[in-house]
Amino acid sequence: MIHDASGCTGNYTGYDEPRWYDSHSLVYCSGLREMDAILGNDEKFIQKIENAANDLKPNFLCFLGSPVPMVIGTDLEGIAAELEERTGIPSMGLATTGLHYYDKGVSDAYIAFAKKFFPLPQAVRPSGDRINILGLTPLDFSNNSNADDLIGEMEKRGFTIQADFSMVSDFHKACQAPSASVNLVVSKSGLGLAEYMKKRYQIPYVVGVPAGELAADRLAVMLKETMADKRERVLETAAEETSQVLIIGEEVLIRSLAFHFREERGIGGIQTAVLFGGTQGVYRQDSLALNSESDIRKLVNSGRYHTIIADPLIRQLIREKERVRFIELPHVAVSSKICWDHAPQLMGERLSGSLFGFQ
């Protein structure tokens, strides 16, 4: 349940969730209204959820905040505890506010899920080549075959996927995620859960996306090495002093694309620049952080890049468009439904065929 009036839920169903169209997912809006907000009438919402929960019998209940609950100080965790008491259904409350980027909300949700449903460390039995994929969100990977392809690339290389968060996850498999022996983090959203599982279950992680054949092969090697020595690894390519190619986007993905260009295609001089904040401390050298439209505007018009790879909406910020080769990399978290129908296929050998046929 998203605790809001309908506009915030509209963001989710209309713009953040490319799978929503054919979904039967039980995602609801609480229908928050002014008087209930002013009077702090939480009982009304608890009752509504209780009614729905008794009918629908879901695996769990999760109650999410929005800007108004933030201002009135709604106790989302308290409401979740009350719901759990009344319905007997495991419940979580997440104090999301609408004032942070999506990766924080996703990360908080993963960790809350882990705390609620993962078994105690002493009850976990790691098994062989099982891996989890963390951060496989539709906001980062869209709704084409990317998620299945990513899983396929790993399975092709001998790994069994215990759980992926969040594209194809089965609830019961996700609950048993700590039985994997290593986590593969494919976006910043998955990093928090990876750190949590490292601390609590001593499961190490590898960061990277199998974008291109070589990246997939390299990741497979890294996963096996990490299984053996329990050390974290990241897929990255050596830093270069000069850059003519700029890739803007989510850091784990664009770092992996940079690896593909450099190592598989021999294209050097790539600068990565992240929207929504980077993954500090993960890579040897930080990416550029773009904190505003103004930052993006300055960078794309700096005259340093002959090629820019970014979400299509960023193209309109480029002043001298004819002097820059622009390659579209739609990111659902940026351009949403405006561009998600032509999100490129990025995994394994599909990358060379579909995207970026440039040299």
Partner 1 sequence: MKTDCNTLHYTSPAHGGWGVVRLAMLVPESYQLFVCPFACGRHGALGAIGHGLKDRLSYLYIDESDIVSGGYEDLIPEAVAELLETLEKKPKVLMIFVSCLDDLLGTDHESILAVLREQHEDVRFTFCHMNPITLDTDNPPPVNVRRKMYGLLEPSEGKKRQVNLIGNPVQIRPESELFGFLQALGIERVNHIAQFETFEAYQQMAAAQWNLVIAPPAVKTAMDMKERLNIDFELAITNYREEDILSTYERLKKKLADKEDVRFDLEPYQRRAREVVREAREAVRDRPVFIDYTAVIFPFAAARALCEAGFHVAGIFARTIGAQEKEHADWIYEHMPQIQIMNPIAHDIPGKIGTFPEDSIAIGFEAAYVTRSRHVYGLVNNEGNFGFDGLVRLMQGIVHAVQVEEDLETLIKNYGLVI
- Using the rule CB under 8 A, give the single segment among 31-39, 81-89, 164-172, 194-202 that binds partner 1: 31-39
Long-range contacts of 289-294 (CB under 8 A, 24+ apart): 290/248, 293/317
User: What's the CA gap between 78 and 83, in Å, rounded?
Assistant: 9
| Window of 43-51, 132-140, 146-154, 277-285 that interacts with partner 1 by CB under 8 A | 43-51
Copy the structure tokens of residue 44.
Answer: 């009304």
Which residue number, 105 or 278, has a Cβ lying nearer to partner 1? 105
> Sign of the CA dihedral 173, 124, 113, 87?
positive
The Cα–Cα gap between 13 and 7 comes to 10
**Can you tell me the distance from the alpha carbon of 50 to that of 247, in angstroms, rounded to the nearest whole number?**
47
Is 144 a residue that touches partner 1 (CB under 8 A)?
A: no
* Residue 14 interacting with partner 1 (CB under 8 A): yes
Which stretch, 64-72, 151-159, 162-170, 257-265, contacts partner 1 (CB under 8 A)? 64-72
Binding span for partner 1 by CB under 8 A among 24-32, 141-149, 186-194, 236-244: 24-32
Tell whether residue 6 is a contact of partner 1 (CB under 8 A): yes
Name the amino acid, one letter, at 41.
Answer: N
From 42, 46, 49, 328, residue interacting with partner 1 (rule: CB under 8 A):
49
Question: Does 34 interact with partner 1 (rule: CB under 8 A)?
Answer: yes
* Strand, helix or coil for residue 126: coil
Nearest residue (CB) to partner 1, 72 versus 267: 72
Element (H, E) at 135: strand 130-136
| Residues near 290 by beta carbon (within 8 Å), at least 6 away in sequence | 248, 273, 274, 275, 296, 299
**Short-list 147, 178, 1, 167, CA closest to 76:** 1
Closest to partner 1 by CB, 153 vs 328, is: 328
CA–CA distance, 228 with 135 (Å, rounded to integer): 23
Site string for partner 1, 151-170 (x = CB under 8 A): --------------------
Name the minimum Å distance from CB 149 to partner 1: 22
- Other CB atoms within 10 A of residue 301 CB: 14
120 near partner 1 (CB under 8 A): no
Region of 63-71, 184-192, 229-237, 318-326 interacting with partner 1 (CB under 8 A) = 63-71
Report the alpha-carbon distance of residue 300 to residue 319 in Å, rounded: 8
Question: Using CB atoms within 10 A of its CB, is residue 180 exposed (0-12), middle (13-18) or buried (19+)?
Answer: buried
Rounded Cα–Cα distance for residues 169 and 171 (Å): 6
Contact residue for partner 1 among 39, 40, 56, 221 (CB under 8 A): 56
Q: Where are the alpha helices (DSSP H) in 62-134?
A: 67-72, 76-87, 102-117
Nearer Cβ to partner 1 (57/125): 57
Out of 158, 338, 342, 353, name the contact with partner 1 by CB under 8 A: 338
Bridge partners (DSSP) listed for residue 249: 274
Q: 74-113: which residues touch partner 1 (CB under 8 A)?
A: 97-99
From 10-18, 141-149, 181-189, 207-215, give the range in contact with partner 1 by CB under 8 A: 10-18
Work out which of 289, 337, 345, 354 binds partner 1, going by CB under 8 A.
337
Residues that bind partner 1 (CB under 8 A): 1, 4-11, 13-15, 20-21, 24-35, 37-38, 48-49, 51-52, 55-56, 66-68, 70-72, 97-99, 313, 335-338
